[in-house]
Amino acid sequence: MSMNNSGNDSGAARWPHILSPFHLGSLDLPNRSVVAPMTRISADADGVPTAQMADHYAAFARGGFGLIITEGTHTDTLQSQGYRDQPGIVTPAQVDGWRQVTGAVHAAGGRIVLQVMHAGALVQENRYTDDIVAPSAIQPAGAMGARYYGDGPFHTPRAMTGDEITAVVASFETAAANGMTAGFDGVEIHGANGYLPVQFLTPESNTRTDAYGGSLENRLRFHLEIMAAVVRGVAGRGLAGMRMSQSRSNDFNYKWAGGVDDAKAIFSALADAGADYIHVSTHQGLGEEFGSGRTLAGLARAYAGVPVIACGKLEDPANGEQLLAAGEADLVAIARGAIGDPSWPDKLAKGEAPLAFDPEMISPFATLDATAAWRAANGVTFEA
Ligand SMILES: Cc1cc2nc3c(=O)[nH]c(=O)nc-3n(C[C@H](O)[C@H](O)[C@H](O)COP(=O)(O)O)c2cc1C
């Protein structure tokens, strides 16, 4: 059963902010809960979304989530793919595969936004090429993620040419237009967690001396160009959002060197580039940033003036409720908690406790098969 209002009295009284409706651009959301993007490496060998993926996403719609954001999806058949069995939004078959996902989510009463990403130097596996590109030829810190079939250190990329940057920006526009063709309600750029846009933004991975390197204005240029490209690709037919974080999947504790000043420059420029919303990912959604008295999401909300989704350890609804009540965010996204219980919002509305996430649900690999196996072994089912 999908939840289309604020639920029964017990839940609505206890979680009045999470369970209240919200207008996100043209979308009417029944509540403020969002499924965060999660790479599940479960597309077929050609990057085509499967029927299993359609079921996976539809379960969140049935469980009452106000909005669903997909896993990071690659944008071209060149260097953007980062993981084995990662879906793409490039070939006609990939677009058709996604159409069955959006159809299943809409049939279940949900709304779904496509997350598009370019791995840059953080590629672990790419079916199209062994060539790895990044702003500069600098080997990334850290190691590949074993849950995504990775093993050992990252490879050293080669520096992109100016023409290649222009082509990648264009590929984001095409990917966004393909997303609209596939029936999505919007497109979100993965501008977080260390992937290509972050490699441009971060001085340690960007030593370019052209218009994309040096000052913050230059290092942010790629984010702004792909933001504008996605706005063009969506062309008013859906939302265009941007996901940001400081931490990188290969460097969890990274912080923007300019603190609040950087946050102000970054978030306001993204809004100026046309972002309908900003999605802020942190490890602790409630954590204060730069001694500012605000969370990173709160800084985004203050400086961008567009709706903000906060994510990071918010699966305890008391945390999300606190964040929303304090005006630090408009929506709360949960990742691991949504794997634990795709009916998380319905459970809150009914005054029940959602099932907790267990790391074994994505072990040894973060596949949908692993989660299905865990549920079968533990006798857990969710309403079809
Ligand atoms: C299995 C898994 C896959 C993820 N894949 C993505 C992704 O594709 N794109 C993205 O922006 N974040 C991704 N993340 C990060 C989450 O969206 C989220 O920011 C992080 O897990 C913190 O939220 P949580 O505390 O609710 O889990 C992933 C997280 C997990 C656990």
The C-alpha atoms of residue 308 and residue 331 are separated, in whole angstroms, by 6
Q: Which atom of ligand 1 is nearest to the CA of 283?
A: 22
pLDDT-based confidence at 347, cuts 50/70/90?
very high
Residue with tokens 């080997």: 139
Nearest-CA residue for atom 18 of ligand 1: 335
Beta bridge partners of 308: 278
Catalytic residue check, 195: yes
21 and 6 Cβ atoms separated by less than 8 Å? yes
pLDDT-based confidence at 248, cuts 50/70/90?
confident
The C-alpha atoms of residue 323 and residue 330 are separated, in whole angstroms, by 9
Q: Which atom of ligand 1 is nearest to the CA of 285?
A: 25
Give the model confidence (pLDDT) of 40-69 as tens digits.
999 999 999 999 999 999 999 999 999 999
Residue spans per domain, the chain: 9-352
Q: What are phi and psi of 81, to 5 degrees?
A: -65, 135
pLDDT-based confidence at 252, cuts 50/70/90?
confident
Predicted structure pTM score: 0.96
The C-alpha atoms of residue 121 and residue 216 are separated, in whole angstroms, by 20
* HSE-CB for 379 with a 13 A CA cutoff: 0
Strand segments, DSSP code E, in 81-229 are 112-117, 133-134, 158-159, 186-193
pLDDT-based confidence at 110, cuts 50/70/90?
very high
Strand pairing report for 27-29 and 22-24: antiparallel
Give the model confidence (pLDDT) of 200-242 as tens digits.
999 999 999 999 999 999 999 999 999 999 999 999 999 999 9
Q: Please identify which of the residues 57, 83, 148, 195 carries the catalytic annotation.
A: 195
Instruction: Note the CATH architecture for domain 9-352.
Output: Alpha-Beta Barrel (3.20)
Provide the Cα torsion 381, 374, 310, 6; round to 10°: 10
Smallest CA-to-CA distance from 253 within 204, 220, 207 is with: 204
How remote is the C-alpha of 17 from its chain's centroid? Answer: 22
Residue 169 Cβ inside 6 Å of ligand 1? The answer reads: no
pLDDT-based confidence at 2, cuts 50/70/90?
very low
Give the model confidence (pLDDT) of 348-375 as tens digits.
999 999 999 999 999 999 999 999 999 9
Q: Which atom of ligand 1 is nearest to the CA of 70?
A: 8
Residue 7 has a pLDDT of 44
Q: From the CA of 209, how far away is ligand 1's center (Å)?
A: 33
Give the model confidence (pLDDT) of 34-46 as tens digits.
999 999 999 999 9
- Please tell me whether residue 35 adopts helix, strand or coil conformation: strand
Residue with tokens 């996430």: 357
Strand pairing report for 33-35 and 186-193: unpaired
Q: Which residue out of 35, 39, 198 has the highest number of ligand 1 atoms within 8 Å of its CB and is therefore the one to mutate?
A: 39
> Given a cut of 80, is residue 21 above it in pLDDT?
yes
